Amino acid sequence: MYDLRKKHKKTWIALIITTLIIVIGFIGAGFYFYNVAIVPGEKSFLSRKTEVKKSDPLYSQTIWYQKAKKKKLYIKAADDNLKLDANYIPAAHKSNKTVILLHGYMNNKDTMGPYAAIFHKLGYNALLPDARGHGQSQGNYVGYGWREKVDVRKWAKKIIAMNGKNSKIVIMGVSMGGATTMMTSGLKLPKQVRCFIEDCGYTNAKDEIEYEAKQLYNMPSFPRFPMVEILSGITRIRAGYFLNDASSINQLKKNHRPMLFIHGSKDTFVPTEMVYKNYRATNGPKELWIVKGASHAKSYKTNPHKYATKIEHFLNKYI
């Protein structure tokens, strides 16, 4: 009997040690993925930027942006003391219409330059901010739109203070910027914010990270679930939000302003199916355009003329 109890005790000790090793392993992996997904920096899974060539469909728009006269604007982040940076390009003639252009994950304000060209032709001022932890803005985490949404509202208020109460503001974003646009739409916003345009934003950060975990690491469902939950907990402690908080869908349910949804039919980074869920969630006037053959964040480049025309027609209805 004594030997049997001793054997059971050893078995329980071995089980506890094994469990602790597994838990510590998951936590360690969680911190690793926090550095991959949440800490700003160069990411191996993202394509590196190359110098623009004349063969690029957006070459002329990019060159226009590079040469455009820009004014530096700054704000403090809405809920902490981070200094946030933006470029402001006034319209060719004085205008009360302004677009706020929001870039994607690990990009910066300059990547939205070709989009600014669309609006400049339409007589808009353009504000291109660097999100927290990106470009020349301060910050040591990526907020996936959840932390950034209040900054966007503060940028809108700055535009109103600059250009007057008769301002008409459009908010547009691509990829993470698209998700930020959708999350911003659910806030209480100044009446001067008239409409939104989102291009290839995700449903929520947790969905997107789980999807990428499978795509990049071929991670099966069981290990992926606790891993993302651990990552979410670490993100809450270190960056102030759970991954599931960063929900475009939940914010869209509160939105009653017009929104144009754009997504590439061959998007494998933010899967095309996500746009249909986002589209259904909003309660304002809405339009959806699926760009045939376009991969992630390439809808504009795939069909520049039609892209600009779609935006112009949408704005003509609501601005």
Classify residue 96: in a domain, yes or no: yes
Tally of domains within the chain: 2
What does the pLDDT read at residue 53?
85
Return the SS3 of 169.
strand
Do 189 and 263 reside in the same domain of the chain? Answer: yes
Classify residue 66: in a domain, yes or no: yes
Classify residue 270: in a domain, yes or no: yes
State the DSSP string of 69-93: --EEEEEE-TTS--EEEEEEE--SS
CATH for 96: 3.40.50.1820
Classify residue 83: in a domain, yes or no: yes
Do 154 and 297 reside in the same domain of the chain? Answer: yes
Q: What is the pTM of this model?
A: 0.89
Do 269 and 217 reside in the same domain of the chain? Answer: no
* Full pLDDT tens readout for the chain, 319 residues: 545 455 545 554 444 444 444 444 555 565 687 888 888 877 555 665 657 788 999 999 999 999 999 999 999 998 888 999 999 999 999 999 999 999 999 999 999 999 999 999 999 999 999 999 999 999 999 999 999 999 999 999 999 999 999 999 999 999 999 999 999 999 999 999 999 999 999 999 999 998 987 876 665 554 455 778 889 999 999 999 999 999 999 999 999 999 999 999 999 999 999 999 999 999 999 999 999 999 999 999 999 999 999 999 999 999 9
Do 96 and 144 reside in the same domain of the chain? Answer: yes
How many alpha carbons fall within 13 Å on the CB side of residue 114? 19
Do 257 and 231 reside in the same domain of the chain? Answer: no
Q: How many CB atoms lie within 10 A of CB 201?
A: 30
Of 196, 228, 244, which one is at a domain's C-terminal end?
A: 244
Classify residue 177: in a domain, yes or no: yes
Do 286 and 141 reside in the same domain of the chain? Answer: yes
Classify residue 52: in a domain, yes or no: no
Of 221, 244, 267, which one is at a domain's C-terminal end?
A: 244
Q: Compute the distance between CA of residue 154 and CA of residue 125 in angstroms, rounded to an integer.
A: 17
Q: Compute the distance between CA of residue 124 and CA of residue 73 in angstroms, rounded to an integer.
A: 17
Strands (E), the chain: 71-76, 83-89, 97-102, 125-129, 168-174, 193-199, 259-264, 286-291
Full residue range of the structural domain in which residue 185 is found: 58-204+246-318
Evaluate whether 152 touches 86 at the Cβ level (below 8 Å).
Answer: no
Do 117 and 238 reside in the same domain of the chain? Answer: no
Q: How many CB atoms lie within 10 A of CB 255?
A: 21
